[in-house]
A = this chain, B = another copy of it.
Amino acid sequence: MSAEVATERLERLSLNQATTQHWTLAEAIDGCARAGIGWIGPWRHRVAERPLAETVRQLRSTGLRVSSLCRGGFFPAPSAAERQARLDDNRRALDEAAELGTDVLVLVCGPAPDRDLDAARAVVFDGIAALLPYAAERGVHLAIEPLHPMFAGDRSVVVTLGQANALAERLASPWVGVAVDVYHVWWDPAVYEEIARARGRILGFHLSDWLVPPPDHLLGRGLMGDGVIQLRRLREAVEAAGYSGPIEVEIFNQRIWDTPGDEVLQTLKQRYLEHC
């Protein structure tokens, strides 16, 4: 394809910072600018490494936009005090998102503190409901991200897009929606139906691939094209459901983390054009 077509097709590509784990946020912003990638999805622990105003200045000077902030959530906790502390932290995350100029905070909802999934799921609902007024005030949407069921014990009791849709429907606010990450939802027999159901509520779309067999519980994600996910079909489905926002590449993989960042970004662009 011509360089012009490639540039146009890359317009929605966003680097989720988790893909270049060893870069600071400043390095990742500069790396995106060098690679001609127009969006970035930062993580809070990296945002916290320097004054927010410096990051905002760097974003402005490079023209880079923030697709979403990762992450809020983790609502269930053993005590009321701890649950309250987590809500407070989510409000700080909403402040940060607004400062960074993104209107999306991604929620990883958290595991149960004990074996009671029903109770934890109720806490998640209440937690998101409690945040909504402040989200509206800050102009930041809450994107419920269902995680793959293999993270049900350690990361999230929200494990299907159907469940995220049902939560969003019950919460019935323009400030809540869902994030669709192909790695988390690709296996689901109901995924296309649920993507269609999410129309008007899709706040993010994340790419990676599912390697066979998965090399690791946490760091087993692959580059697009190296696995078995029908990436293009999923992208077309979220677009048919009305999503036209940035597309984040989010790959937790030790081998990619050990590769120089600039090289990773070139590979991402190429794989994105070829497979997505």
**Contact with A212, one of B121, B153, B159, B227 (Cβ below 8 angstroms):** B153
In the complex, A263 has a CB within 8 A of chain B? no
A189 engages B153 (CB within 8 Å): no
Q: How far is the CA of A69 from the CA of B273 in the complex (A)?
A: 47
Interface residue stretch chosen among A101-109, A213-221, A252-260: A213-221
Which residue of chain B lies nearest to A155 when distances are taken between CB atoms in the complex?
B213
* A143 touches B (CB below 8 Å): no
Which residue of B is nearest A211, CB measured?
B153
Contact pick for A214, options B153, B187, B210, CB 8 Å: B153
Is the Cβ of A154 less than 8 Å from the Cβ of B213?
yes
With A153-B228, A230-B117 already in contact, the answer to whether A189 and B160 are too (CB < 8 A) is: yes
Instruction: Point out the residue from B163, B210, B217 that lies within 8 Å of A189, measured CB to CB.
Output: B163
Give CA–CA (A181, B150) in the complex, Å: 15
Q: Does A59 contact B (CB under 8 A)?
A: no
User: Given B117, B159, B228, which contacts A112 in the complex, CB threshold below 8 Å?
Assistant: B228
Chain B residues near A154 (CB-CB < 8 A): 212-213
A61 to chain B, nearest CB (A): 40
Q: A135-191: which have CB < 8 Å to B? A: 148-150, 152-154, 159-160, 162-163, 186-189
Bound-state CA distance A163–B187 (Å) is 12
Q: Are A210 and B153 in contact (CB under 8 A)?
A: yes
Other contacts beyond A152-B187, A162-B189: 20, CB < 8 A: A111-B212, A112-B228, A115-B229, A116-B230, A117-B189, A117-B230, A149-B149, A149-B150, A149-B188, A150-B150, A153-B187, A153-B214, A153-B227, A153-B228, A154-B213, A159-B187, A213-B217, A213-B218, A214-B217, A217-B217
Interface of A with B (CB < 8 Å)? 111-112, 114-117, 121, 148-150, 152-154, 159-160, 162-163, 186-189, 210-214, 217-218, 227-230
Question: 10 closest pairs, A vs B, by CB?
Answer: A152-B187, A150-B150, A153-B212, A149-B187, A154-B213, A149-B149, A163-B189, A115-B230, A154-B212, A153-B228
Q: List 28 A-B contacts (CB under 8 A).
A: A111-B212, A115-B228, A115-B229, A115-B230, A116-B230, A117-B187, A117-B189, A117-B230, A121-B189, A148-B149, A148-B150, A149-B150, A149-B187, A150-B150, A150-B214, A152-B186, A152-B187, A152-B210, A153-B211, A153-B213, A153-B227, A154-B212, A159-B188, A160-B189, A163-B189, A213-B217, A213-B218, A217-B217
